[in-house]
Amino acid sequence: MPETFAVAGAGLIGRAWAIVFARAGHRVRLWDGVPAALDAALPLLRANLDDLEAQGLIASAAEVVGRVETVASLGDALDGAAWMQECIAEQVEPKAALFAEADRLAGPTAILASSSSAIAASRFTEELPGRLRCLVAHPVNPPYLVPLVELCPSPWTDKAVVAKARTVMEAVGMVPVSVNREVEGFVLNRLQGALLAEAFKLVADGTISADDLDKTVKDGLGLRWSFMGPFETIDLNAPGGVADYCARYGPFYERLQAEQAPVLAWDADLVTRIEAERRKHLTADRLGERQVWRDRRLMALLRHKKDATDEYGG
Amino acid sequence: MPETFAVAGAGLIGRAWAIVFARAGHRVRLWDGVPAALDAALPLLRANLDDLEAQGLIASAAEVVGRVETVASLGDALDGAAWMQECIAEQVEPKAALFAEADRLAGPTAILASSSSAIAASRFTEELPGRLRCLVAHPVNPPYLVPLVELCPSPWTDKAVVAKARTVMEAVGMVPVSVNREVEGFVLNRLQGALLAEAFKLVADGTISADDLDKTVKDGLGLRWSFMGPFETIDLNAPGGVADYCARYGPFYERLQAEQAPVLAWDADLVTRIEAERRKHLTADRLGERQVWRDRRLMALLRHKKDATDEYGG
């Protein structure tokens, strides 16, 4: 049954969430405190949807955009909404103000979610009467191409709200995961950070070039990780599964951890070297066009994953 | 022009390398010190090739297997060979003995490469007259499905040999990278280890379940890494490229590094928890069948990557 989703903030992330909800057949009420942003939103959103239609990822851009309405106030957006997705500036005070207002205006069963990537829900919901229905639902950009969403409750978020949020996110085609503690970076960026830290070190000490390191991931390590996680990967890399793998290679990885422990600041010289190497492959004026390429490749990868899962199982 | 490749060791990795070389149109002479392993090799190899043919990744299994010959001695394998790929036990002494013999028997311009994943070339080539032509060429398993190969010279390997090895590996369809220093784990396993270390910590302290962590990678972080490396990924994640990204997020990643520094041993309790969670999704008796699924998915992913690169660029 179609529900109403309120999206607060009509920037890149807000528009992308509007696509997710509308694509799944729901009504979306999109609001932004800056009228000009709201005016620009539907044409921009339509352009993204036309692209998705051209790539065969949705049947009709017109139909999807028809479910999205821009509204003049947060109250209008929340009227009858089952879910609010906040997508405003990444600062505590504006988020706190918006959540206070939303908690006052939203219906009693509505879930209030923030797209925050760095600010934990506890920092802007503690004082609210409805703080138990507030949580972070952190997407990867853009959520209509990358299905993962990290659900990060505060210590006072109701467990039933987290469970319901998982159901809602699954119903709109996302892949929700539960981050049970408020840790900086949640999970995805912590994993990315761990790998990046080692990548910067290996380039810093001359072990490998940045370009060859990229190849090591895209033509090696990253292939399996696009359809299996790291635990399933090692589970299949020893005859007896993950415990067998840890028995064989645990001591090696423990030595590595010790070697990798020292913090390496990404200082100006190191960053300049990597920047210079990247600019040899892609001049700065072509970054935007390469982002379009990336999104095309993501779309093609999504179609591939769907086909491969249909054919071989997930 | 077809060359001759000697493959020493007819186990899983040796047979997989034989497929790589023969698929590229070269003659392969496959030798193993254990006659039974050699006898079994061609039928096993043929089964892999039939699979590749059925999946549309090679035109004719019969044609490829016709280029592979099993031979009774290392000398026969090396006769006229441009390249030796050693794929025997992961122990220093047998490798040292084999390289000593190969260095004596191989033609003067032949490159002698080891598939070693953990033993640096300097540990089994130092005393050899031809030590300058010896290096590690570490594949991912199986190399006919994962193109990356890490070229890891010893301190005395000739730079021209490394350069030629890159050319040879590219010519047989692999993606070589140069690992310029002998570091434990080379590059791929160091990157995997960095991410795994954080993954184990996040499960150990209850931040996330192993299953949700796998989803975080396969439905989020791992998607881009299957066609862009980590540096290209962050290069496209800030308006001004990688230097801009580091200016914005460097301090965050530096804090993360400090938090992630403590070594966490993968103790029995932790491993048992993760093993138990994996076995809920995949019982131990189905590990083998799931490995077949993984290889099917890898094959489908390779076809997809080729098509997507043809259509959108690499």
In the beta sheet, which residues pair with residue A152? A136
In the beta sheet, which residues pair with residue A177? A150
The residues near B235 (Cβ < 8 Å, ≥ 6 apart) are: A278, A282, A287, B241, B242, B245
Give the C-alpha separation, A106 to A161, whole Å. Answer: 15
For residue A1, pLDDT beyond 90: no
Whether chain B has a CB inside 8 Å of the CB on A175: the answer is yes
Q: Model confidence over A235-290: pLDDT tens digits?
A: 999 999 999 999 999 999 999 999 999 999 999 999 999 999 999 999 999 999 99
- State the CB neighbour count (10 A cutoff) for residue B225: 24
**pLDDT the model gives residue A14:** 98
Element holding B47 (H helix, E strand): helix B35-54
In this structure, the answer to whether residues A143 and A197 fall within a common structural domain is no
Give the C-alpha separation, A237 to A30, whole Å. Answer: 47
Find the angle CA(A286)-CA(A289)-CA(A295) to the nearest 5 degrees.
140
CA distance A100 to chain B (A): 27
The residue with greater pLDDT, A314 or A175, is: A175
- Report the first-to-last Cα separation within chain A, whole angstroms: 27
* DSSP state at residue A107: -
Mean pLDDT of A63-81: 98
For residue A166, pLDDT beyond 90: yes
**Owner of token pair 């919901």:** A125
Mutate which: B169, B203, B226, vs A, most A CBs within 10 A? B226
Q: Do A293 and B313 touch (CB under 8 A)?
A: yes
> Would you say residue B27 lies in a domain?
yes
Between A and B, how many residue pairs show a Cβ–Cβ distance under 8 A?
373
In this structure, the answer to whether residues A238 and A131 fall within a common structural domain is no
Q: Give the domain-ending residue among B127, B155, B178.
A: B178
Q: Do B222 and A217 touch (CB under 8 A)?
A: no
Buried b (16+ CB within 10 A) or exposed e, B202-211: bbeeebbbbb
Nearest chain A residue to B212 by CA distance is: A177
**pLDDT the model gives residue B24:** 98
Cis peptide before A142 (omega within 30 of 0): yes
Give the C-alpha separation, B100 to A285, whole Å. Answer: 53
The enclosing domain of B275 has a CATH number of 1.10.1040.10
Q: Model confidence over B69-106: pLDDT tens digits?
A: 999 999 999 999 999 999 999 999 999 999 999 999 99
* Rg, C-alpha atoms of chain A: 22
Q: Give the domain-ending residue among A154, A178, A202.
A: A178
CA distance A242 to chain B (A): 6
Number of domains in chain A: 2
Q: Model confidence over B234-264: pLDDT tens digits?
A: 999 999 999 999 999 999 999 999 999 999 9
Selected residues 1-40 of chain B with any CB under 8 Å from a CB in chain A: none
Q: Model confidence over B112-170: pLDDT tens digits?
A: 999 999 999 999 999 999 999 999 999 999 999 999 999 999 999 999 999 999 999 99
Residues from chain B that touch A150, judged by Cβ atoms under 8 A, are 216
**pLDDT the model gives residue A59:** 96
For residue B282, pLDDT beyond 90: yes
Give the C-alpha separation, A95 to A89, whole Å. Answer: 7
- State the CB neighbour count (10 A cutoff) for residue A47: 11
Q: Do B216 and A140 touch (CB under 8 A)?
A: no
- State the CB neighbour count (10 A cutoff) for residue B240: 13
> Would you say residue B47 lies in a domain?
yes
Dig out the tokens for B11 from the structure. Answer: 């186990």
**For chain A, what percent of residues have pLDDT higher than 90?**
98
Whether chain B has a CB inside 8 Å of the CB on A283: the answer is no
The enclosing domain of A166 has a CATH number of 3.40.50.720
CB A112 within 8 A of CB A133: yes
Q: Model confidence over B22-73: pLDDT tens digits?
A: 999 999 999 999 999 999 999 999 999 999 999 999 999 999 999 999 999 9
Selection from B176, B111, B104, B91 nearest residue B139 by Cα: B176
> Would you say residue B34 lies in a domain?
yes
Give the C-alpha separation, A279 to A287, whole Å. Answer: 10
**pLDDT the model gives residue B71:** 98
For chain A, how many residues are written?
Answer: 314
Residues from chain B that touch A137, judged by Cβ atoms under 8 A, are none
In this structure, the answer to whether residues B23 and B145 fall within a common structural domain is yes
Nearest chain B residue to A313 by CA distance is: B293
Dig out the tokens for B148 from the structure. Answer: 């990356």
Mutate which: B13, B200, B205, B207, vs A, most A CBs within 10 A? B207
Residue B10 burial by CB count (10 A; 0-12/13-18/19+): exposed, middle or buried? buried
**pLDDT the model gives residue B201:** 97
Give the C-alpha separation, B6 to A301, whole Å. Answer: 37
The residues near A40 (Cβ < 8 Å, ≥ 6 apart) are: A10
In this structure, the answer to whether residues B160 and B271 fall within a common structural domain is no
Residues from chain A that touch B240, judged by Cβ atoms under 8 A, are 284, 287
Q: Model confidence over B190-222: pLDDT tens digits?
A: 999 999 999 999 999 999 999 999 999 999 999
> Would you say residue B89 lies in a domain?
yes
For chain A, where are the alpha helices, taking DSSP H only? 12-23, 35-54, 61-65, 74-78, 92-105, 122-125, 159-171, 188-204, 210-216, 222-225, 230-235, 242-260, 268-281, 287-312
Range of the domain at B80: 4-178
For residue B1, pLDDT beyond 90: no
In this structure, the answer to whether residues A127 and A258 fall within a common structural domain is no
In this structure, the answer to whether residues A213 and A165 fall within a common structural domain is no
In this structure, the answer to whether residues B174 and B195 fall within a common structural domain is no
CA distance B52 to chain A (A): 15
Whether chain B has a CB inside 8 Å of the CB on A265: the answer is yes
Mutate which: A144, A180, A192, A310, vs B, most B CBs within 10 A? A192
Give the C-alpha separation, A9 to A76, whole Å. Answer: 14
Taking 3-state DSSP, the helix, strand and coil percentages for chain B, each rounded to the nearest 5, stand at 55, 10, 30
